[in-house]
Amino acid sequence: MHDVAIVGAGPVGATLALALRGGDLDVVVGDARAAGETVRADRTLALSHGARLIFERLGIWAPLAATDGAVTPIVTIDVSQARGFGAVQLTAAEHGLPALGYVVSYRALQRVLDDALARAGIGVRFGAPARAVTGSADAATVDIAGSEEPVRARLAVVADGAASSVPDIARRRHDYRQAAIVASVALDHPHGGIAYELFTFDGPVALLPERDHYALVWTRTPADAAALLALPEPAFLAALAGHFGSRVRGFTRASNRRSFPLSLEVARNTTARRIAVIGNAAQALHPIAGQGFNLGMRDAYDLARTILDTPREALGSDAMLARYRARRVLDRRAGIAFTHGLVQLFGNDRPWLRVPRGAGMMLLDAVPFAKRAFGRAMLFGMR
Ligand SMILES: Cc1cc2nc3c(=O)[nH]c(=O)nc-3n(C[C@H](O)[C@H](O)[C@H](O)COP(=O)(O)OP(=O)(O)OC[C@H]3O[C@@H](n4cnc5c(N)ncnc54)[C@H](O)[C@@H]3O)c2cc1C
């Protein structure tokens, strides 16, 4: 029997496996994808400064930062609302940091993590989709499609992005009835590391600096999103420029336009008998605040610390799983509530909310303590 079986070697599962290195544990990792394969269309991940610190400790940051075009620093975040007053500017300098966060290519990150796993001698079993992960008093069992031999471990960690293989973990789903349009957008001037988040009547829109252009995340109703995607490029750019008004000017190009539906999916429990779920399998959030991926990183890191603090024979025990839940409960709840609250507050067209929203932003900008607290939460999470 293995000590730990990790289902899914995406960014979160791979981070956990790397954090367990050197712990003298027998760890097995499986992933449904083929070796070397990653997401079909690249994603831009918003990495917080706290996630960078985790990658630094695991020796991932240096190869990632050295990969051409993989990492773009965000030095300023400009938050404002259309047709309302109030704006907040967070800067790296006021937090004494080189950057507030980073825009990272999912594909590049996955390649660096795959290489790091191989270098660390952690063999990932690729092409091994888990069909069911179940727990009993003495072991967790991972059934793999196409394999007669199930994997048994004291603890199974599910990091498959959807918890689809864990019958004992129910997920709550809230459909925002919104879609995110994502695209690469160019301006006629350098981005200078400034990220924009604009709250509009139709929902939030973000521009994240990425290499020599911006990554756009534009929240709309599904019908609007379909109509915008069908527009020729000049008309799409005109609609975008109209949306940003005077805040951002000079849109020249939009490529790789696509959209995906937005929902909040939260596992009711992050543990079941001999099982823990982490990353997107535990919570998949609206991208409005860039919190989802960073919460997943912290799940992985805190679970690794809990595992390494636990004697081998107690791995996967109720007591160990309770310690893990206690470690994560505050940060997880706050991250979910913060993101969901922002969507409720800013993701709608109720004019009576405009004044409190504007006042909130002006206050944040004017009160150094409130602004620092807000910035800290965005950078490091809420513990
Ligand atoms: C369509 C989409 C677009 C997104 N866009 C953005 C964005 O623009 N910005 C942003 O910050 N975040 C974005 N996210 C969220 C971001 O991708 C996640 O926060 C992040 O990928 C979570 O990492 P993870 O390792 O938990 O899960 P994933 O990245 O989903 O990794 C899961 C891994 O598990 C493997 N797997 C799946 N099923 C099984 C199985 N049954 N058995 C074994 N292995 C399995 C997969 O092959 C994969 O390697 C997006 C998410 C989605 C779904």
Indicate the DSSP class of residue 51: H
Average pLDDT value for the chain: 87
Of 60, 111, 257, 293, the one to substitute when testing ligand 1's pocket (max ligand atoms within 8 A of C-beta) is 293
Q: Quick one: pLDDT at residue 94? A: 83
Alpha-carbon span 276 to 220, nearest angstrom:
34
Q: Is the CB of 43 within 6 Å of ligand 1?
A: yes
No. of helices (H) and no. of strands (E), the chain: 10, 19
pLDDT in tens, 362-381: 555 555 655 566 666 655 55
Mean pLDDT of 122-149: 93
pLDDT in tens, 284-314: 988 877 788 999 999 999 999 999 999 999 9
Q: Is the CB of 243 within 6 Å of ligand 1?
A: no
Cα 43 to ligand 1 centre (Å): 10
Six-digit token string for 72: 């773009």
pTM for the model stands at 0.90
DSSP of 73-141: EE-EEEEEETTS--EEEEETGGGT-S-SEEEEEHHHHHHHHHHHHHHTT--EE-S--EEEEEE-SS-EE
Six-digit token string for 243: 């949306």
Q: Quick one: pLDDT at residue 240? A: 93
Give residues with Cβ within 8 angstroms of 297, minimum separation 6: 11, 12, 15, 50, 51, 54
Q: Quick one: pLDDT at residue 353? A: 56
